Structure 1
Amino acid sequence: MPPWKIPTPRATTLPTMSIVNFYAGGALDRAATRRRDPEWLQARLADPATRIVPYWRGRYLVGGDAEAPQPVWLNSGEGWWREHLTLDPVFLGLGREADGAEAAWFAIDLSGIEEPEAHRIIAGLGRFVELRALAMTIPAEAGHILAYARGLMGWHAKHRFCGVCGSPTAVEQAGHVRRCTNPDCATSHFPRSDPAVIMLVHDGGDRCLLGRQAQFLKGFYSTLAGFVEPGESLEDAVRREVMEEAGIEVTDVRYHSSQPWPFPSSLMLGFTARAVSLDIQVDHDELEDARWFDRDWIKAHKPSDDFRLSPPLSISRRLIDDWLAMG
């Protein structure tokens, strides 16, 4: 069986959830208590049934058809990867195979290899591709696993030294903790996600507010978004960001859904909000343009260099599509 045909865990949790965005809703049991059991972890790493997610400088190994690449999961029992690790294997969790059997999942960082696709084992299996380029072709469960792994790997790359005293940190709990090696400090550091609000602002009728940043692709318009600041509630962040970027006052802020966004470490928290004022005053340090768009016009318009919506798998698009479906 080709490596990319190794099944992903069955998504047993998805049917019970009302709104599940891409990169979220995974079926892996994170099995946090197992992270503290080194003997159990080593036994899983020696088990041929264990699945390995190869990671290289922000990219993942994919194989199969060039038009529809699929992730390559490696078998842990091969063991060749141990001599190339830049980080101890990171335990992701436990999944169920198609036949119901349980399997452990780990991510490994092979970034120390200069040309991984030429490696004697990897050669012929596929190529390393950035996650966002795969989102339209891979199953949702695979997307969740890759986003989960990317978030952890990115965190490790930025926390090799203690933010308290500057000493090197050491990996603990199978990659879910880094502890300062200075015994007088010994601070534990945990992976973090940066909360960001993203909101569909409407006028209470048939218009919504969309904007674009200068670096967006031509014609690309999206919902407004921004990071939550210290001491701020999510609702306060929604109101502040809309006012700062577009000069619009909003009320009736309502939670919609969320999406992990590991580029590099955000958690997008989706909301809808109703505008109290309608006169747009764009902050050109934040946005290139912002406009009110009519619901029927958006539905009728075909994507072009003048106007196109967010990518289909983004929470921005989910917010827009759900609003469009209301009228």
Structure 2
Amino acid sequence: MTRTLNFYTCHDLNRADDHRNNAQWLAERLADSKTRVLPLWQHRSLFNNIEGEAPRAVALEIDAMERLARYGGEPIFLGMRGETAYFALDLVDLSEPDHEPALAGRGSFADLRAVGMLLPREEGSLLAYARAMTFWHARHRFCGVCGSPTEIRRAGHQRQCSNDSCKAPQFPRMDPAVIMLVHDGKDHCVLGRQKIWRPGMHSTLAGFVEPGEALEQAVAREVFEEVGLHIEEARYHSSQPWPFPSSLMLGFHAIAEHRPLRVQLEELESARWFSREELLNSPEDESFNFPRRDAISFRLIQDWLEQG
């Protein structure tokens, strides 16, 4: 069965790995009028701010690159859509975007989390990719082996230690995390909430995969730690890149016996069993509402509800 890809998954982008070491080809792309640049400032993306219109990503023409490059970022090649090359540019040394002529009147910077679900999926996925790459670069400016500064390689898909006696390479990584809807195989599932979430929001259980641990083991461990249930079965559902800041969410449906929960209050404010009927009649207010619609947790819940 073919599943629809989750939000923030680039499905129509040619990443052109074979061109990342081709200096001439990259230079041609950086001189091509069709090339577009996605600027980021403080991990925020640029959006239009036309009153009455839905938010849309703003991709700058290549002639803006020369002026904006002085703010410290190096262009990171993302890939090709048709004949258009896309680059991300992190404006790390820019203090006031409104004072930069290359950005004046083009829109405003906002957190992708605030508007991602309102964007066309191809736009949201490209912005998520750009955010993940610039975040990784910002946190790997120094070598983890010897502490020397690192330098960009392969059009932004590698950093390498500048110390000739070290030269340790680093590659972009994401942190694997399991996220699971626990249900009893019938008409009840477990949802929890954290204090920092908006009022009423409940979601599935989740946690990072630990070293030496298989995904199924991580599912079982996290569920037992957070609510005290023993998993009888865990089935993979789908995955989602989640660049907030750098996770790969691996979704599961897991079955456990319907019995009282032992909630780990250090992790969760609350958790309980919800009936299918209760969720289908959700008030979507401060007493209860679902996770954000662009998150894999929402899809795990919705797919379970539709199976009933």
* Per-residue deviation, residues 221-275 of structure 1 (Å, max 9, x unmatched): 0000000000000000000000000001112100000010001100000000000
Inter-partner Cα distance in structure 1 for 2:7 and 2:95: 31
Would the alpha carbon gap of residues 116 and 231 (structure 1) be closer, same or farther in structure 2, given more than 3 Å must change? Answer: same
**1:152/1:83 CA distance change after superposition, 3 Å:** closer
Alpha-carbon deviations, 1:24-76, whole Å to 9, x = none? 14311000111101111011001111011111111111114345121111111
Note the 1:184-263 alignment, pairs <5 A: 184-263=165-244
Give the number of aligned pairs: 307
Matched, 1:42 2:23: no
Deviation at 1:109, TM superposition (A): 1.3
Match of 2:295 among 314, 318, 325: 314
Aligned to 1:134: 115
2:58 maps to 1:77: no
Matched, 1:109 2:94: no
State the Cα distance separating 1:111 from its structure 2 match.
Answer: 2.5
Question: In the alignment, which residue of structure 1 is the partner of 2:145?
Answer: 164
Worse-superposed segment, 24-33 or 281-290? 24-33
Normalising by structure 2, we get a TM-score of 0.96
Are the counterparts in 2 of residues 198 and 238 from structure 1 also a CA contact under 8 Å?
yes
- Give the deviation of 1:17 after TM superposition: 4.8
* 1:69-109 deviation digits (Å, cap 9, x = unpaired): 2111111134443542422100000112xxxxx11111111
Shift of 1:114: 0.7
* Range 192-201 or range 62-71, more displaced: 62-71
Is this contact kept in 2: 1:23–1:261, CA < 8 A? Answer: yes
Greater CA drift, 116-125 or 80-89: 80-89
| Selected match of 1:297 from 268, 273, 278 | 278
Could you tell me which residue of structure 2 aligns to residue 99 of structure 1? Answer: none
- CA displacement 1:286-308 (0-9 Å, x = unmatched): 11101000001110121111111
> After superposition, where does 1:278-293 map in structure 2 within 5 Å?
278-293=259-274
Q: 1:94 aligns with which of 68, 80, 89?
A: 80
Q: 2:9·2:240 contact (CA, 8 Å) conserved in 1?
A: yes
Cα distance in 1 between the residues matched to 2:92 and 2:107: 16
Q: Distance in 1 between matches of 2:2 and 2:40?
A: 29
**Which letter maps to 1:129?**
A
Q: Does 1:28 align with 2:13?
A: yes
Q: 2:49 matched to 1:52?
A: no
Is 2:4 the counterpart of 1:19?
yes
AA aligned to 1:326 is Q
Please report the TM-score for the alignment, with normalisation by the length of structure 1: 0.91
Distance in 2 (alpha carbons) for counterparts of 1:250 and 1:321: 21
Q: Distance in 2 between matches of 1:174 and 1:229?
A: 31
Deviation at 1:217, TM superposition (A): 1.1
Going from structure 1 to structure 2, the CA distance change for 1:83 and 1:308 (only over 3 Å counts) comes to closer
